[in-house]
Amino acid sequence: MNDKCQFRRILLKLSGEALKGDSSTPYSEDAIKAIVERVRIILAEGVEVAIVVGAGNLWRGATRGSGMDRVNADYMGMLGTVMNALNLKEHFNMAGIPAMVQCSVNMEPIARKFNREDAVKALESGQVVIFGGGTGSPYFTTDTTSVLRALETGCDAVIKATKVDGVYSADPKKDPTAVRYAELSFDQALAQHLKILDSTAFTMCRDNDLPIIVFDFNDTDAFRRVLRGDTAAGTIIS
């Protein structure tokens, strides 16, 4: 493991559930403060951090009620990501960390419209930039949003925060024989049908040589370790 982070700028992909932790409500103050503190450590190491957060704590368009129109269900999910982004921004600001939200669709004055140049300038100045609203179009997940924004803003990797310490051959919670991978190539992941990101997002990473790192966000030190190249703390797909 290196003694410093390998990346200059990263895109952190968080699930909406990360904001609720073990709470029965959509938000947990402790869980959100833990996210802020983990990001603070990375910022202190000189890494620029952009974030995309899902809306699974509020709404899942893919599990919409019977008969609900898919497009409207996805729009509801996009609104949920904006709510989560605003929540994160406020907690970063309260902790003394400058943060801003950019949205894929026009929602001013609630959030600024996505602007690549403004986002890059903010990241270079040390701000955390949180992208809300998905891609702005239905039928795309926040995985795809993460990769799209990472490529647009020149990020060096997509860092996917999960509840497991990397990528396995099967669900380790259901299959005790599941094998954990320290490193994978894109072709290996495809050949083994490993569900790391949705297929669109994964293909975009492969076609643009954008590494993906999967790690356990519940491990308080794993975020820092994976950015230093520690494959014991997560799986690197490149």
> Rounded CA gap, 39 and 229, in Å?
17
* 92 pLDDT higher than 70: yes
* 124 pLDDT higher than 80: yes
> Which helix or strand (DSSP H or E) is residue 214 part of?
strand 212-216
Residue-level pLDDT at 60:
74
Residue-level pLDDT at 222:
92
What would the pLDDT profile of 151-174 be if each residue is shown by its tens digit?
999 999 999 999 999 999 888 888
Residue-level pLDDT at 64:
59
What would the pLDDT profile of 219-238 be if each residue is shown by its tens digit?
989 999 999 999 899 999 99
Higher pLDDT, 157 or 3: 157
Residue 48 one-letter amino acid: E
* Number of other residues whose CB lies within 10 A of the CB of residue 88: 24
Q: Mean pLDDT throughout 176-181?
A: 90
> Rounded CA gap, 101 and 111, in Å?
6
Topology of 9-237 in CATH? Carbamate kinase (3.40.1160)
Residue-level pLDDT at 49:
98
* 1 pLDDT higher than 60: no
Residue-level pLDDT at 66:
62
* 4 pLDDT higher than 90: no
pTM of this prediction exceeds 0.85: yes
Higher pLDDT, 135 or 191: 135
Percent of the chain surpassing pLDDT 90: 79
Tokens representing residue 134 in the block: 């998905």
Residue-level pLDDT at 63:
60
Q: 24: pLDDT confidence band, cut at 50, 70 and 90? A: very high
Q: Mean pLDDT throughout 198-223?
A: 93
What would the pLDDT profile of 34-85 be if each residue is shown by its tens digit?
999 999 999 999 999 999 999 999 987 656 566 788 899 999 999 999 999 9
* 87 pLDDT higher than 60: yes
Dihedral angle, C-alpha 161, 165, 167, 171, nearest 10 °: -100
DSSP bridge pairs for 48:
9
Tokens representing residue 228 in the block: 């230093």
